[in-house]
Structures are given as structure tokens and as C-alpha cells.
Structure 1
Amino acid sequence: MRKTNIVPWSEEWASEFEKEAGLLKQIFQDNVIDIHHIGSTSIKTIGYAKPIIDILIAVHDISRVDRLNTSMLELGYEAKGENGIPGRRFFQKGGDHRTHHVHVFQEGDNQINFHLDFKRYLLQHPKQAARYKQKKLELANQYPDAHHRYQEGKQELVSELAQLATQWAEEIRTLRDQ
């Protein structure tokens, strides 16, 4: 059973992302549109995170990604297919002591904006990020040996924040488009 490991936010995570993004660009080559650092390790305003670098890759053609499973394995990643999100290709590195997650979506997939809006919202709204931080710390203390319980416990707040982030981003896009 995975333990819940929450640590203070670290500047090193940005450089770890940049290093890994460079390696991933070599694998995905001309199919890659953009690579983003997402998740709590990319959001300083939260202040705490599981030390797992989440990476979002937008690609031209998702059907070409499955052909890269061997190359990803050589880089230390396990291919997990869609892993619960239709249209995604998911890879994890590090086994039970994960270090990286890679989420791949085809350009135009709503999940791209969803993840990027969530990040931008929490960077721009430190009070909401503080709520998330508090919930993470409470749950990590409550469930240090039951990571699935930690994940379940924060889902309601994550859903609320995601909805706020989506509304906020839509308002910004509407104003920009006027």
C-alpha cells in the first residue's frame, strides 16, 4: 500500500520538470505541440505537494503515442493507457515511489484547458490555494498509511476548485474575445 508523502514546495521541481521535458521532447519529436508542468509541484501558492512531477503533453495525433511505449519504458516509464480518462495516454515513473506522471492529450481535448486553468487559478488565487494546502496537510496527517483515503478525502475540494477555475478561465476568455 502506498504511503501519503506530502512535502514542502521546492524550487527544484521546476528544474526537474525542465530536464524531463527535454527528454520527452526527444521521444515525442514532431508530434509534440507543447509540454506543461502541472499539478501541485507546479503551484507554489499551495506550498505542499506529493513530490511527483506531473507533466502534460499536447500532441497532434494521440494515436501515434502508443508506438512510443518502448521508448518511454527505456526512460523508466510504465505505460498505463487511458487510465480512467478517455482520450488520454498516461505514463508513470518510479513504481511505488513515483517521481513523474505524464498525461498526454491530443490538441483540442478539453482536459488540456482543465489542467492549465486549475494551475493558473490557484496561482492567481492564493486564498483558494491555502484552502487546498490545509486540506492536503489534514488528510496527510489523518491517512499517512492509506494514500487512497487521502486521495478520496480531497476530491470534493478539488472538484469545487476545478469548477471555480473553469468559471474564472471562461470569464477571462470571454473578456479577451470581446
Structure 2
Amino acid sequence: MAALRIFARTVLSTCRQYSRRIDGVLSPGEDLGLRVAKRWASFKTSPVYNEETKYTDFEVSSDPKEWAFVERCLKATYIPSPPKEVHDLPSGWKPQREEAKSLPYYIERTKNHQQPVYLVRSKRGLRRLTNVRKIQGNIIALHAELKQYLFEATNRPIGSQILEPSGVIKFRGDYVSLIKEWLTKKGF
């Protein structure tokens, strides 16, 4: 242990000597030729740039016709409500049906009007969990129906976990497409 202390002290003392030279602080016996030029490390230490000829010219406009081109590039301030009567869209998206509200459980859509079913990968992609979120009402009845549907579709027992206070059901495995298909049939 004592040998490690001695070794560490000698290494630290040499590090201090080299750091003095890099910072530009010279010891009394050092030559000026060893000084390393200091680089600009941040905008605060760089010189002020005052040549206005290097800046791009701009003009302030208050014309509403020109502002329409700018508004196209800005992020939308709200998410528009989806259309009620949609038959077939290329993306396969379907709106929530009213008959889904009569069931003992309800799965709310996300703010972007998507079904809240997510695949979570962990342990370097080896562990896959399917999460169903935003569940309201009788979560145990929903869990039983979903588990039965997944068992019939895959012919394997499915491991699952219910988090009732947060309204989440987790299934062990990648079943996102099967669960979304079942939710669409139910009207969610």
C-alpha cells in the first residue's frame, strides 16, 4: 500500500508539471520556446466579430402573403381532431368507435390518436415486453380477454403483469401487432 502511495505521488507531480506548461504558466527556469499556444475554448474567450459585411442581409416583412410561407414551416400548435367517418386509409388507421365505450373497460387513445401499445426492448434487445397503457375501468377483465386471445393466436402460455394503479398491462414477448389488431376489432 505504501508503494502505491509513493507511485501515485510521483505520477501526480509530473501531471502538475505538464499542466502548468499547457496552461501557459511558466516556472522560473523554463524556456519561452516550450509554451504551448492556448486555443479558444469557448465563445467567451474568442475575439468579438464586428465585420457587418460578413453577415447575411435581411429585410423585415409584415406582408400576410409572405407570412403564409413561414407558417407552413412552423410546428403546429394543436393536434387536429380526426375525421369521424373514415373507411380505408393507406396507413390502416381507423378512428375509435362509439360502441367501445359500452364495454366494462376503456383504452384511451394517445394525443396523436394512436393506440397506446408499445414494444419495450431491454437487456441488449433480448428481452421484449409489450406494454398496453391508458387503461380505464375493469383492467382485470381486459387482461383476461387479451391473454385468452393471445393464447389462441400463438398456442403458447403468455406471461403477463397487471399494474392496476397506473393502468398498464405488460406481456412478455412481442405481441404489438396482435394486440393492435384485437383493439381495432373491439373498436378502440
Q: What TM-score comes out, normalization by structure 1 length?
A: 0.24
Q: Whose relative contact order is higher, 1 or 2, with alpha carbons under 8 Å and at least 6 apart? A: 1
Greater strand share, 1 or 2? 1
Which has the greater radius of gyration?
2
Greater helix share, 1 or 2? 1
Q: What TM-score comes out, normalization by structure 2 length?
A: 0.23
